[in-house]
Structures are given as structure tokens and as C-alpha cells.
Amino acid sequence: MEQTLMIIKPDAVQRRLIGRIISRLEDKGLRLAALRLLWVDRPLAEELYSVHAQKPFYEPLVEFITRGPILAMVIAGPGAIGIVRKLMGATFGTEAEPGSIRGDFAMSTRYNVVHGSDSPESAEREIGLFFAPEEIIDYELDLCRWTDTSKG
Ligand code: IDP
Ligand code: MG
């Protein structure tokens, strides 16, 4: 089953949005496979955002993601990577569509509430930064025969 890394960023933890964001994932039919509340240190932040190391927003981004605790999650489901990106909305809160998580909860370019892996390669790499394989729980939601018809 496809898996993706999603992060509830420090702004959303501080704004006590964790429950409402997780509700959206559950409402959609996605499955929670692992959850971890942690305070990211600088080396981990640099790993997570290594692709952005040369960008002008890199330093403030590292400062932001290390500013308070985050919730790291492995989210599973058929097409989970793309579905989570759609639920998140466009990168900038200023541009994200109403109805998306960022569209409804963010109006900043940097403080945009959530992170989600953008490809299968990113998902594999990013999940490995936060979770050991045995921490990712494989189970079936009984109701998936009503939400997931991908098996025919
Ligand atoms: P994504 O989170 O939608 O995948 P990325 O381009 O991977 O967007 O950027 C990573 C994070 O860096 C964004 O979520 C946002 O917090 C921050 N960021 C991206 N571009 C800018 C910018 O132009 N100004 C300020 N922050 C930015
Ligand atoms: Mg990204």
C-alpha cells in the first residue's frame, strides 16, 4: 500500500489544529500507519529540506521547522502521496484553494501548517528520516471495502 510522510508543522501544533487536520485524513479514507510527536533538531531539519539548501527561503524554513514540536505521520492508502498533496493544497497559504488544509488554515507562504512528500522517492526517503520500519503499523481498516475499490 502506498505510503507518504506528512508533517503537522510547528505553527499548526501551537494553534492546536492537530485533531482537525487528522480528521480530514480520516474523513478521506486514508489510514494512519505511524505517528510521532517530536521536536526536530537542526541536523534533521537540514536532512528533511536538503533539496532546498540553495534556496533563499532555506534558512528561515529550517528556523521555522525547529521552532516547536511537530507531528510526523506515515499516511497509507492507494494513491496516498497524491491524495495528501491535494488535501494539503498549494504551497502558499495565500494561494491554496479554500477547502484544502492550507487553504482553510494558512495565509502565510512559510507558515503553511503541513508538509507532504511530493513523490514516491521523497516519501521513501522522508519516512526513513522519522521512522524505523517496525514503527510503521500494517493493518486494514475494516471499512476500507466501502472507501477503497482499488482492489476491484
Ligand atoms: P511544499 O511544502 O508545498 O512541498 P516546497 O517548495 O517543497 O513546498 O517548500 C518547502 C517549504 O518551504 C514550504 O512548505 C514552505 O513552508 C517553505 N517555502 C517554500 N517556498 C517559500 C517561499 O518562497 N517563501 C517562504 N517560504 C517558502
Ligand atoms: Mg516539498
Whether 109 and 92 have beta carbons less than 8 Å apart is answered as yes
Residue with cell 514540536: 69
Mean pLDDT estimate for the chain: 97
Confidence check: pLDDT of 139 > 90: yes
Which of the four pLDDT bands, split at 50, 70 and 90, describes residue 152? low
Residue range 67-77: mean pLDDT, rounded: 98
Q: What is the CA radius of gyration of the chain?
A: 15
Residue range 99-108: mean pLDDT, rounded: 98
Q: Which residues surround ligand 2, an ion (CB under 5 A)?
A: 118
Confidence check: pLDDT of 151 > 80: no
Question: Cβ neighbours of residue 122 under 8 Å, at least 6 residues apart?
Answer: 5
pLDDT value, residue 149: 81
Q: Is 115 a catalytic residue?
A: yes
Q: How far is the CA of 91 from the centre of ligand 2 (A)?
A: 8
User: Which of the two residues, 136 and 150, has the higher pLDDT score?
Assistant: 136
pLDDT value, residue 80: 98
Which of the four pLDDT bands, split at 50, 70 and 90, describes residue 150? confident
Confidence check: pLDDT of 7 > 90: yes
pLDDT per position as a tens digit, 13-36: 999 999 999 999 999 999 999 999
pTM (2 decimals)?
A: 0.97
Q: How far is the CA of 109 from the centre of ligand 1 (A)?
A: 7
pLDDT value, residue 148: 87
Does ligand 1 lie within 6 Å of residue 110's CB atom? yes
CA dist 135 and 129 (Å) reads 12
Burial class (CB in 10 A: 0-12, 13-18, 19+), 116: buried
